[in-house]
Structures are given as C-alpha cells and as structure tokens.
C-alpha cells in the first residue's frame, strides 16, 4: 500500500471515530432527563386542576398500575389527583422531549410531606408524579416541590366538597348541574361555571363520570401560595365548557 493510501485511510478512520463519539454524546444528552428542579418559562394563560373518580378509573382502565396493585381501591370511593395542567393544551413537555425518559420520584426531590400526600392522592405516585412533571410541570414556571404542593392542597379542598356528593350518588347518576350547584354553594356564585365534567364508556356499565376539570389562573401565578384558596382561584379562572352533562357514578 502506498504512503498516500495509508494517509487517506488514517484520516477516514479518525473522522469515523469523531462521528461515532458525536453520536454517543448526542444519545446521552437526549436520553438524559431535564434537571427536575428547573421549569421552563411559561406562556400559560390559565390552568386546569384535573381530578379522577377512583372507582371510575379502575372501571375504564383496569390494567392501570394503581388499580392492579389495589392501591386505588384502598383509598375508597374518592377523587384522586390526575394533574395540574397549564393551558392552553399546547403547553406540554417544555424543554424536555415528548416520549423521553421521565425522572424518578426520587429525582424530583420533593419534601417528605408532599411525597406522602401524593401517595395518598394519586393512583400510583411513583409512575404518575414523574410523568405529570415531565408533561405539565415543566411548563408551570415552578419547581417540583411548589408545583405538587399546590396541586395536593387544592385537591384536598376539592375532595372535601365532592367526595360526599359522589358517595351519596354511588350506583346512581349525578349531573353537572348538581356538581356546579355544590361549588356555587361552597365557594360563591359562578364558581361552578369553572367546573367541567368528563364521562367515559365503561363496557357494560354505560357512561360513567370519569373526571372533573377545574379552571384556574396560570400555575405560575400561584408561586409562594403555601395554602391556596380554591374559592379565590375559581373566581379568577376563565369559565369552562360543560363537557358531559350527566353520568353514572361507579
């Protein structure tokens, strides 16, 4: 082999090594979850607090990890936290790749009291909390501890109002007007206009009430609110479409 050929082969090998190294670095960077202590700047104009009726979740999605483990059933007939979603719906996965690897619950570095609350309010906090952070929390403008702390405080206020309504209606039907009237009575006139209802088909059970959506101000506006008032926030949130008007309570 001539000297020129050797030089060409050496250069080609070197370039190949550089390309391989660049690909490896790129894969590592893409696969690395975003530092969970930092949320992107938000362009959100409002937010939705989404709560799911636990028995309905297991009717609609029996393979759900929280249903399979029996955790949702152990919570009894109660609403559980799905998430706190910056709006509009395009505000998702801010600064993180959709479908990328979620951080673990440990990575979120949540205070113990917030972790405990999530365990008692979510279908499976180990799965749901990291997903909700990646999909929605990264667009909130808040760090994980504040984001989930606010979500759990608000969920406590929702369940205090609605769990009795749905437990009394278990096996029967409940209407959106009943739900909205209860919010008006508890939080003041027109609070119910910020509540929408989502129903799902559940096999032979028919149409059941699955989730409630509560319209609130942007999550970032709640910064520093250690004990946010649901009534005050509903008053500041935009009105919301009704969604489902009536459904069976599983």
Per-residue model confidence (pLDDT) at position 38: 52
Percent of residues, the chain, with pLDDT higher than 90: 75
Instruction: Extract the tokens encoding 245.
Output: 């008007």
- Give 90-136 pLDDT, tens digit per residue: 999 999 998 888 899 999 999 999 999 999 999 999 999 999 999 99
Domain limits of the chain? 33-248
Assign 44 a pLDDT band (cuts: 50, 70, 90). confident
Per-residue model confidence (pLDDT) at position 24: 35
Is 133 within 8 Å of 103 (Cβ atoms)? yes
Instruction: Extract the tokens encoding 192.
Output: 């119910």
Greatest extent of the chain over all pairs of C-alpha atoms, in Å: 92
Whether residue 20 is predicted with pLDDT greater than 90 in this model: the reply is: no
- Give 58-78 pLDDT, tens digit per residue: 999 999 999 999 999 999 999
Could you tell me the CA-to-CA distances from 156 to 5, 6, 13, 66, 68 in Å, in that order? 74, 73, 62, 19, 24
Length of the chain as a residue count:
250
- Helix then strand then coil, % of the chain, to nearest 5: 50, 15, 35
Whether residue 248 is predicted with pLDDT greater than 70 in this model: the reply is: yes
Q: Omega of the bond prior to 78 within 30 degrees of 0, cis? A: no
Contacts of 193 (CB under 8 A, 6+ apart): 180, 239, 240
Beta-bridge partner residues of 81: 51
- DSSP H helical segments within 32-138, as ranges? 54-60, 65-68, 71-74, 112-121, 125-135
Q: Does domain 33-248 have CATH number 3.40.190.290?
A: no
From 93-107, 135-149, 162-176, the region with the lowest mean pLDDT: 93-107
- Give 207-240 pLDDT, tens digit per residue: 999 999 999 999 999 887 778 999 999 999 999 9
CA angle 148, 43, 146 (to 5 degrees): 15
- CB neighbour class for 137 (10 Å; exposed up to 12, middle 13-18, buried from 19): buried
Burial 39-58 (b: 16+ CB within 10 A, else e): bbebebebbbbbbbbbbbbb
Percent of residues, the chain, with pLDDT higher than 70: 83
Per-residue model confidence (pLDDT) at position 13: 44
Assign 41 a pLDDT band (cuts: 50, 70, 90). low
The strand pair at 79-87 and 46-53 is best described as antiparallel
**pTM of the model as a whole:** 0.83
Whether residue 40 is predicted with pLDDT greater than 70 in this model: the reply is: no
Per-residue model confidence (pLDDT) at position 10: 42
Assign 42 a pLDDT band (cuts: 50, 70, 90). low
């Amino acid at each position: 082999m001539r000297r020129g050929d050797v030089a060409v082969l050496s250069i080609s090998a070197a370039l190949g090594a550089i390309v391989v190294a660049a690909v490896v670095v790129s894969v590592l960077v893409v696969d690395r979850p975003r530092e969970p202590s930092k949320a992107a700047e938000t362009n959100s104009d409002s937010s939705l607090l989404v709560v799911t009726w636990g028995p309905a979740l297991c009717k609609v999605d029996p393979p759900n990890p929280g249903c399979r483990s029996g955790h949702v059933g152990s919570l009894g007939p109660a609403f559980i936290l799905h998430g706190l979603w910056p709006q509009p719906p395009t505000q998702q996965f801010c600064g993180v790749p959709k479908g990328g690897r979620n951080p673990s619950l440990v990575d979120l570095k949540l205070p113990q009291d917030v972790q405990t609350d999530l365990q008692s309010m979510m279908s499976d906090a180990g799965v749901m909390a990291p997903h909700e952070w990646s999909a929605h929390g990264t667009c909130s403008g808040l760090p994980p501890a504040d984001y989930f702390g606010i979500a759990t405080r608000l969920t406590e206020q929702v369940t205090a109002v609605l769990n009795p309504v749905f437990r009394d209606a278990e096996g029967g039907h409940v209407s959106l007007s009943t739900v909205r009237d209860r919010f008006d009575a508890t939080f003041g006139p027109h609070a119910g206009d910020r509540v929408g209802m989502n129903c799902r088909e559940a096999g032979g059970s028919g149409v059941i009430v699955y989730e409630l959506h509560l319209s609130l101000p942007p999550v970032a506006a709640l910064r520093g609110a250690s004990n946010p008032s649901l009534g005050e926030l509903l008053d500041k949130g935009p009105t919301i479409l009704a969604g489902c008007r009536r459904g069976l309570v599983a």
